[in-house]
């Protein structure tokens, strides 16, 4: 199945370039493309990424000049609307991929869900089976859930999607498909991007609890 892997980018140009090259060299899968997306505030960083990866036909970059800053979920929604891939992967520039990370995940998805709807989590090295920060999700299931959860600024969108998929019996995890999450919460180096994300944690958590208690109402607009 064709996979569109979308990586929201915020600063970290050199780190992102290293990450992209590692993802490409270890994917072990041919039917996919990697899309890097950022807002106009990240013009310099996105330009560096585009130049560094211009010899990689599988990689494309997009700068949303209409928005200075895209949240993680807005960036995913932005590019999802411009691809027709049946499977989508949400990535980040702080992931350390294991060998054949995408080939193993795509194979596990096919075995578990076939061509049907589902959400299959990567092994991030930290969470057990009930949660995945990064995953493959079918476009059909994402559409059923109202699209990427742009109502969150940064946190808890992954939690909502995983919990809903678990409740619907459409969640699985591939422990052998590794995308180690080198996040500050797990010992990674802190920086302004992480600090920016943490600034919205309380608001995102309150919204998550509210939506969970209300039965995940569909957001209009």
At residue 186, the pLDDT reads 61
At residue 59, the pLDDT reads 94
Write out the chain's pLDDT in tens, 221 residues.
899 999 998 877 888 899 999 999 999 999 999 999 998 888 888 898 899 888 899 999 998 988 888 899 999 999 999 999 999 999 998 899 999 999 999 999 999 999 999 999 999 887 777 899 999 999 999 999 999 999 999 899 999 999 999 999 999 999 999 999 876 556 677 767 667 777 889 999 999 999 999 999 999 76
At residue 120, the pLDDT reads 98
At residue 164, the pLDDT reads 98
Can you name the CATH fold of 3-213?
A: Spore Coat Polysaccharide Biosynthesis Protein SpsA; Chain A (3.90.550)
* Secondary structure of the chain in HEC code, one letter for each residue: CCEEEEEECCCCHHHHHHHHHHHHHHCCCCCEEEEEEEEHHHHHHHHHHHHHCCCCCCEEEEEECCCCCCCHHHHHHHHHCCCCCCEEEECCCCEEECCCHHHHHHHHHHHHHCCCCCEEEEECCCCCCCCCCCEEEEHHHHHHCCCCCCCCCCCCHHHHHHHHHHHCCCEEEEEEEEEEECCHHHCCCCCHHHHHHHCCHHHHHHHHHHHHHCCCCCCCC
């Amino acid at each position: 199945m064709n996979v569109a892997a979308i990586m929201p980018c915020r600063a970290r140009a050199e780190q992102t370039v290293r990450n992209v090259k590692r993802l490409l060299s270890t994917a072990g899968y041919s039917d996919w493309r990697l899309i890097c997306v950022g807002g106009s505030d990240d013009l310099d960083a996105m330009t560096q990424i585009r130049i560094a990866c211009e010899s990689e036909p599988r990689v494309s970059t997009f700068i949303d000049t209409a928005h200075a800053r895209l949240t993680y979920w807005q960036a995913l929604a932005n590019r999802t609307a411009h691809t027709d891939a049946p499977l989508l992967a949400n990535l980040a520039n702080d992931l350390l991929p294991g060998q054949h990370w995408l080939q193993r995940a795509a194979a596990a998805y096919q075995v578990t869900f076939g061509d049907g709807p589902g959400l299959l989590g990567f092994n991030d090295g930290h969470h057990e089976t009930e949660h995945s920060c990064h995953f493959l999700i079918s476009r059909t299931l994402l559409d059923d859930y109202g699209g990427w959860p742009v109502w969150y600024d940064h946190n808890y969108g992954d939690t909502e999607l995983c919990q809903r998929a678990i409740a619907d019996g459409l969640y699985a995890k591939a422990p052998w498909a590794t995308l180690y999450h080198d996040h500050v919460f797990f010992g990674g180096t802190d920086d302004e991007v992480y600090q920016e994300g943490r600034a919205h944690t309380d608001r995102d958590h309150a919204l998550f609890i509210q939506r969970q208690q209300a039965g995940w109402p569909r957001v209009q607009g």
